[in-house]
Amino acid sequence: MRLTANLRRVAIATTVAVAAVFAVSTAAYADPVEIEGQQLRDDLFVASVHSRTQGAQGLKDLVLSAEMLGYHQRFPAKTKDEILAHAALMSQWYDSHLDGTDFALQTYEALPHVLTMMSAWPQAAVAAPIMKELLEMTVGPVSKDYGERINQVATAQFSYDQFERFYPVQDMIWRRITTQAQGDPTFATAWDSNFGARLGVLSTASEEQLAADPAIATWMNVNALLEHANNTENYITEARAQIVSAITRLESQNAQLIGQVGQLGQQFPVTSTTAPPSPATFNTQREAAVNRQKDIDAAGMAIQALATALGFADPTAGRIVGGVGKSLMQVATAINKYIPSIAGLSLAQALTSMSTVALTGNILGAIGALLPVFATGPTPDQLLMDEIHKLRDQVGQLATTMTSRFDRVDHALTVMYGSMLDRFDQVIGLQHATLAELTYLEQELYALNVKVDNWGSAIVRALAKAEMHDAIVAINQYVGHKYTYNEPIQTYGEYQDTVNELDVMATTYKAYGTPFFPFVESQYEGLDPVTTTRAFDDGDTGPATAIDYLDWYAARYYGGTRSLDQKPAAIAPWTMSARAYARMVAENPNYAVQVSESQTNGILAKGQGILAAARRFSAPRSTPDAQGNRTNALFTNAMAEYRTALQSFSAELGAIRGANPDNKIYDMFRNADQSLNSAAQLTDPAKVGPCTGATPSLTRPSTMSITQAPSALQFAKYAHPQQPVVRLCYTAGFANVETAEDYKFNHTYADLDMTFKIKVTWGGQEWDYRTWHSSWYLGEICRSYVTGAPGGFCNNLTYYLNKWDASYLAGFTAGATTQTDETPATYARNRMNEYLTGRQKSYYNAVVTALGSPNVPLFAANTRLTRAVAMLRAYTQVGFAKAMSQDELLSLLTVGGERLPSDLDGINTMSQAFLRAQTNYAGCSLTGPGGACAEGAQPVDPMANQTTVWNGCTANGAPGASGDPVGDCLLGIGQHRTNVLATRYEAHSRELADGTYIEGLPDVVSIMEDLTLANSFIRHA
């Protein structure tokens, strides 16, 4: 409720602030407003057709429209019917060469693949100007006046940024379509026949017709704006009102989306114990996102059109509004497309949603999109800056809402969002920004992509190596040359020198024995697998960099076979150089086509080698095993190794715990009132002797039993070093003794008083824990002559005790009264708990010491466990890289908050749990008997205040439990998570076997698509 209230206040404040932004004086403006009608009309057309071309069909319409224009550019004399015939053939080719997996991707991911497929058709008009322009925009981002080109090719942020990669393409193509159509009736008729009529928007539609389009009219009243063209003040006032409305509604949409993210996140948390959402839930969320996106796109396009319209009166204000509107739209789109992924679990579902990585990349892009707002002219008006502040707050609210989910999937995301907000604050703080300041912030935003990019850190580390210097110089000088120097590369020789440098970097360095991975196979046995495969930490190599080592390790330890293929290239130099090479080809097609195709094929072959090496790790079984599973031997054996290592760790805990003293059987981790085994339980004697003296033993009444002694007493007698005496005994005597004398005799009368008891003797103290008491009137027990003469009788106590069975037992059994003194029970409980707690403390002290001592078995077991987790993670990151980028549960279990328990990369799940347990016992001083805590020490829960284990956690039936609650919890967690992880591997293995998707390192796949596309275009052209 608090978040909702805050966002509502933000929305209200937005309206006030935006209204104030445009309350400008008209003194600086002349009447009338010089409206560029053609530009406004074209903006409206783009907005209208954009709203009608969503999803897979929208991508097809976009690409085939561009190809139709290209065909017409190449063959301007072709008739409408000839154009339509060609379009029909192109559509058939398109449909026959794509399958469901292609359109399961986001449109910006599918675009390069679609264009590559299309360029393979001999009749495709790939040589046309529009297609060349499309190629360059698809392969490389539009260069800016600030920042270094190396930043643009060193990370994969462009691959994830939907706005940079796809929205400019849409804008360009639809503008070219309508521009051509308005001066070319033949093309207009052909396009309208094939696309416009079906979409409901004609290529030559008038401004009035477009303004009446509901997708536009809902957000923008063009006629109301144009009516004020003769009065600048009124024009700006109207523009202000419409912009206020559109921005406020879009901000409100963002607030609702953030709230929905929070609700769905609570409903479907990322956890290995929560039941996954149903397919129906996912489909509902996906359909809702599709419908919302139409409104978001319409609002964003309307704001852009309004920014253009405002720019006719005030170009600076128009530019600023356009930048802010684009950022708002980008944030809304990123969140909206991410929402279905919260309600989806299978990869087939996830592929149709935006991944966490893509969400992050697009929000980074939204921040970067604000930089041009500061690039020229004065800093935005302070009140408009308030709008940028509000956008920053919404990104902050998203980060807050997603913190729990990010922490569980990958804590690095939470850290990165904090850094992202810091950079956002720096952007907001710009005042009259210089190009140097913009360059710095651009570099800072690219640096954040190291955490978004799968292998960004490896590439950044590679950039620091001397071997990369010449390639970096070439990239900075020649990639984006025409944007940097306002002219193309001047000579073929310059182009040759650059691409040759990139070719050498991409193809020369192998995945072993180079500065990027300086080990060869003969050294592999001596390497530490954990440090060799560690990912994302400065100074470490990362798993993909160690891909040849991983192949060797799988063959050596996990039952795999060593690849006989050519050794793969080093991924860091290949990725950077190949991405730059693709840009060079796309930007310089006339030079690129002169280079032997073998050079491009060589780079592609190296990339294919990287993919092949990575795909070997996840390749499913060709046929299911006996249990019907498709998970391959590598992952099956790697998980088995983890389970075995976990059980070995537990066994070593058991060895440290050892047997109880004198091999007594009890649980040292429970308290003094635990259930006792038969050996620890006291047993009743048939006869009960006197507590003192030598009177005869008596038959024990059935209602009296030593087993009625509290378990703490029995336990103490069994296990405590001081072993108290606990026994049954009785006391007997005459009570109520009376004497009388007559003329002849002295008479003595008495009662027989009997008390049976459970007597406790401990440390010089004695207690009667329980007594059973009864008495009988005996009458005259003694008679003697008054004179002292012999005769008469006197019965001593033994006389009556000898009659116990016949005369008193039954009555005592039926009528004895009972009293209990809990003092000895409490004393025994306290002493026993002190003893058990002391043993527990000694145990955890020993475990913590062992975990830090390299030469003891527990340290070795923990090292084995950590190694098993490191290798599973490495093979997952490389072999299931595509799945991992989309499957939050897979990330959760490998790098996230529910990773397999181990001491890996400073997240010491094992050691930290035992260290916390040891700390819990700080109040126990081991000064009591047998290593007990000093008197007064309270029982301790080793699970208290834990961060990696929790109360109630048990081994849950996992084999090899040691009895230690901390160790058994870790064992149970590890077993459970391994089981869940196995289901994820199996699910993706089946998807691979069924052809649902194709695995591959996403960045390498993206670069391969771009380079293949660029090469195909220039060769077919």
Q: What is the pLDDT of residues 593-650, one digit of tens each?
A: 999 999 999 999 999 999 999 999 999 999 999 999 999 999 999 999 999 999 999 9
pTM of this structure: 0.81
DSSP 568-606: PBPHHHHHHHHHHHHHHHHH-HHHHTTS-HHHHHHHHHH
Per-residue model confidence (pLDDT) at position 482: 82
Average pLDDT over residues 175-190: 96
Average pLDDT over residues 686-715: 95
- Buried b / exposed e over 354-391, threshold 16 CB at 10 Å, is bbbbbbbbbbbbbbbbbbbbbbeeeebbeebbbbbbbb
Res. 1006: pLDDT tops 60: yes
Whole-angstrom distance, CA of residue 515 vs CA of residue 528: 18
The percent of residues above 70 in pLDDT, for the chain, comes to 80
Please answer whether residues 122 and 1020 qualify as being in contact, where contact means their C-beta atoms are separated by less than 8 angstroms.
Answer: yes
In this structure, of 387-401, 516-530, 793-807, the range with the lowest mean pLDDT score is 387-401
Whole-angstrom distance, CA of residue 14 vs CA of residue 119: 47
Whole-angstrom distance, CA of residue 958 vs CA of residue 488: 67
Please answer whether residues 400 and 421 qualify as being in contact, where contact means their C-beta atoms are separated by less than 8 angstroms.
Answer: no
**What DSSP character marks residue 656?**
H
Confidence at 353, pLDDT banded by 50, 70, 90: low
Per-residue model confidence (pLDDT) at position 541: 45
Q: What is the pLDDT of residues 712-768, one digit of tens each?
A: 999 999 999 999 999 999 999 999 999 999 999 999 999 999 999 999 999 889 999
Please answer whether residues 558 and 637 qualify as being in contact, where contact means their C-beta atoms are separated by less than 8 angstroms.
Answer: yes
CA nearest 364: which of 456, 240, 232, 293?
456
Contact residues for 806 (Cβ-Cβ < 8 A; gap 6+): none
Res. 229: pLDDT tops 60: yes
Res. 831: pLDDT tops 70: yes
Task: Tell me the average pLDDT of the chain.
Answer: 83
Whole-angstrom distance, CA of residue 962 vs CA of residue 650: 6
Question: Which amino acid would we find at residue 632?
Answer: N
CA nearest 228: which of 20, 38, 26, 16?
26
Contact residues for 969 (Cβ-Cβ < 8 A; gap 6+): 913, 943, 949, 950, 953, 954, 955
Per-residue model confidence (pLDDT) at position 525: 93
